[in-house]
Amino acid sequence: MLSRVADSLYWMSRYIERAENVARFIDVNTHLILDLPVEAEEQWEPLVITTGDREIFHEHYREPTRENVIQFLTFDDKNPNSILSTLIKARENARSIREIISSEMWEQINKFYFMVRDALSSDEAIKNTHDFYTRVKLESHLFTGLADTTMSHGEAWHFSRLGRLLERADKTSRILDVKYFILLPRPDDVGSPFDNLQWAALLKSASAFEMYRKKHRRIYHKKVAEFLILDREFPRSIHYCLIKAEESIKSITGSQPGTFQNPAERNLGRLRSEFDYTQVSEIFSIGLHEYLDDFQSRLNQVGDSIFETFFAFRPIAGITQLKETAE
């Protein structure tokens, strides 16, 4: 497969997943604000902090109000990670590989893009926040479902899944960080009904509330963190994403379990193996925010090594030698 095609497949899926997860950031904040006491002040800047776009935001907006943050994260073309910006890039990547993806996938990504673009002129995201961001999530789910059911599960599909899973792992960690930044409770608030309401809202934003309750029943902050970070079976947990991402990269390279052929496999395998033996008590002894921040840095290293291994342009050795001989 051409590296250009693999790169487009990888980033097409990452951008679609990123759009969905920005919707999840806004949704979790909306849920948490509904549970705040009447006298509490709404907080919207933490969403900009956790997406890593704080500097860009303050270049163009004075105050992190509800309207400004929603506009910036959803429609602003000056924000490369806004929902509309990521859909534009996902659509362009899909356009360049139309002969690889199915026609149903191409139709869905167009439908998704036009739905968000049309919402820009109607102020739908401001007026009907929950309904709009629920639609964004559902459109992303439909695209993923079409990819799984209309593409052969070969090399192209694995590059697409690899991008989606790495993006999802990163954004699940950032959704957990939203709880940390929005309202870090006082010691006497931990375990209180108010604290539990926030963790329940967090689970709902990750579509994890029902599956968590089936497994653990009671809401307890360490169990919530354990479920979203270390669970091997829930599709949005970080550990699950790393396991399936490693399966895809080994399907691409043909490496046997426990072996690696390149830095991308080594870095991803090392990170996944650490999750195999990590306990939630260790995470909280380090500090939840500190642990997640370190994970995000290491996941970025995995992404960099994937680029260098599969997508980076390199001179062909024979041509280079011919040029040197001619000179």
Q: Please report the DSSP string for 116-158 in residue order.
A: HHHHHHHTHHHHTHHHHHHHHHHHHHHHHHHHHHHS-SSHHHH
What is the C-alpha separation between 241 and 170, in angstroms, rounded? 9
User: Is 186 or 264 the better-scoring residue by pLDDT?
Assistant: 264
Q: Residue 277 to residues 50, 168, 229, 281: CA-CA distances in angstroms?
A: 27, 21, 12, 12
Rounded Cα–Cα distance for residues 126 and 120 (Å)? 10
Return d(Cα 224, Cα 240) in angstroms, integer: 15
Closest by Cα among 29, 237, 238, 23 to 137? 23
What residues have CB less than 8 Å from 99, skipping those under 6 apart? none
How is 268-291 classified by DSSP, letter by letter? HHHHHHHHHH--HHHHHHH-HHHH
d(CA 104, CA 28): 31
CA separation for the pair 235, 249 (Å, rounded): 18
For residue 150, pLDDT beyond 90: yes
pLDDT reported for residue 313:
74
Confidence of residue 75 (pLDDT cuts 50, 70, 90): very high
pLDDT of residue 25: 86
Q: What is the DSSP string of 220-278?
A: -HHHHHHHHHH-SSSTTSHHHHHHHHHHHHHHHH-PPTT--SSHHHHHHHHHHHHHHH-
For residue 12, pLDDT over 90 is answered with yes
Greatest C-alpha distance within the chain: 77
Cβ within 8 Å of residue 49, ≥6 positions away: 181
Across the range 78-82, mean pLDDT stands at 94
191 pLDDT tier (thresholds 50, 70, 90):
low
Q: Given this model, what pLDDT does residue 105 score?
A: 97
| Residue 232: count of CB within 10 angstroms of its CB | 11
Predicted local confidence at residue 89, as pLDDT: 98
Mention every residue, 6+ apart, whose C-beta is less than 8 A from residue 254: none
For 47-59, what is each residue's pLDDT tens digit? 888 788 889 999 9
Which pLDDT belongs to residue 186? 55
d(CA 279, CA 283): 7
Task: For residue 36, name the pLDDT band (cuts at 50, 70, 90).
Answer: low
- Scored b (16 or more CB within 10 A) or e, 199-231 reads bbbbbbbbebbebbeeeeeebebebbbbbbbbb
Q: What is the pTM of this model?
A: 0.89
Query: Could you give the percent of the chain with pLDDT greater than 90?
Result: 65
- Is 316 a residue whose pLDDT tops 80? no
| pLDDT at residue 323 in the model | 46
Instruction: Indicate the pLDDT class of residue 315, thresholds 50, 70 and 90.
Output: low
* pLDDT digits 0-9 by tens, 245-296: 999 999 999 998 888 999 999 999 999 999 999 999 999 999 998 999 999 9
Each domain of the chain, given as residue ranges in start order, spans 3-314
